[in-house]
Amino acid sequence: MPDGCGGNDTTIGIQPRHDWTIGQAEALFALPFADLIYGAQRVHRAWHQPNAVQMSTLLSIKTGGCPEDCAYCPQSVRYQTGVDSEALMPLPQVLERARAARAAGATRFCMGAAYRSPKRRDLEQITLMVSAVRELGLETCATLGMLTRDQAQQLKDAGLDYYNHNLDSSEEFYGQVISTRSYQERLDTLAAVRDAGMNVCCGGIVGMGETTRDRAQMLVTLANLPQHPESVPINQLVRVPGTPLAGAGDVDPLDFVRTIAAARVMIPKAHVRLSAGRSSMSDELQALAFLAGANSIFYGEKLLTTGNPDVTHDRALLARLGMRAECATAVPGAA
């Protein structure tokens, strides 16, 4: 429809594509805010329940001691952040937390461990965790760093449903944040996960000093994969004292929402997760993110080592918005 000054075409298609250009993605970000949100809502309603939110809980099963130098991460051994290194959590404790998450309404249980890549003995224990959590009727997810194809297959055989491995940002910006792992290594892990038959969870972080073009390029990389990720977490940087990014500038809230909306348009069938950084977001900003197409959140008191809104507050916010938890997907063989 004409905008009163000669008109412009802001039509956004709803079908999945794998041929996005950086120019097309940047044009999405540059749309008038209302046009972008309207387009994202059309896409969202074409593929998803409009007022349902998928609930995930994230547990750190092995904390700290990571040799990587990711500039945002308090678990790196290179930074003094007050995070103590902890050994792999025992299975009974993991199951206790998984049952609590299920009781609180989570349908997916994500297990995170601070590794560059998991050691064989640790992976053997983690596969037992995956199988046991899945028997509780929860979808399972893990983020353990880089995987070989054999490791990915081990996790798949144990029943892992999703593997998270974020790109973080564009390939061009990536080297300003991480030097110990290449962008191609991240893509190789995604390929190993996909080849093993698992669902891919992959997104990035907003607020590390990247440009709008970097955000657009990251989404182009994800949207042009042979198969789109099933889950796309969009994180807002949590500025942790002691990390190199502790002094990063504030993110314009509307720019963050634009990233959510662009992810929804470019990767239409995925769950777009409003992820890290929610503890510093107002209810109004979160509501805008849902309007832009976010339909998944991490649910619980903590995200690995940083805070998260509590369950009571999340329930109250969703009730105010007339939203509800998405129904759980049946897990074959669950008790």
Q: Are 162 and 140 in contact (CB under 8 A)?
A: yes
Catalytic entry in 97, 110, 181, 215: 110
Q: Is 274 left (phi over 0), alpha (psi -120 to 50) or beta?
A: beta
Cα dist from 127 to 56, 110, 114, 191, whole Å: 19, 13, 16, 20
Catalytic entry in 215, 258, 273, 278: 273
- In the annotation, is 141 catalytic? yes
Catalytic entry in 70, 134, 186, 215: 70
- In the annotation, is 201 catalytic? yes
d(CA 237, CA 235): 6
Q: Are 139 and 107 in contact (CB under 8 A)?
A: yes
d(CA 134, CA 149): 22
- Strand, coil or helix: what is 85? coil
Helix spans in the chain (H): 22-30, 33-47, 91-104, 120-135, 149-158, 171-174, 183-195, 212-223, 253-266, 283-291, 311-321
Helix-then-strand count for the chain, H and E? 11, 12
Q: At what angle do helices 22-30 and 253-266 cross, to 10 degrees?
A: 130
Catalytic entry in 73, 181, 258, 278: 73
- In the annotation, is 5 catalytic? no
Catalytic entry in 141, 181, 239, 264: 141
Shortest CA distance to 222 belongs to which of 187, 188, 189?
187
Catalytic entry in 186, 201, 215, 264: 201
DSSP of 131-172, one letter per residue? HHHHHTT-EEEEE-S---HHHHHHHHHHT--EEE---BS-HH
Please identify which residue in the block is written with the tokens 């952040």: 81
| Phi then psi dihedrals of residue 247, to 5 deg | -100, 15
- In the annotation, is 273 catalytic? yes
Q: Are 32 and 236 in contact (CB under 8 A)?
A: no
- In the annotation, is 110 catalytic? yes
Would you please indicate which residues are annotated as catalytic (active-site) residues? 66, 70, 73, 110, 141, 201, 273
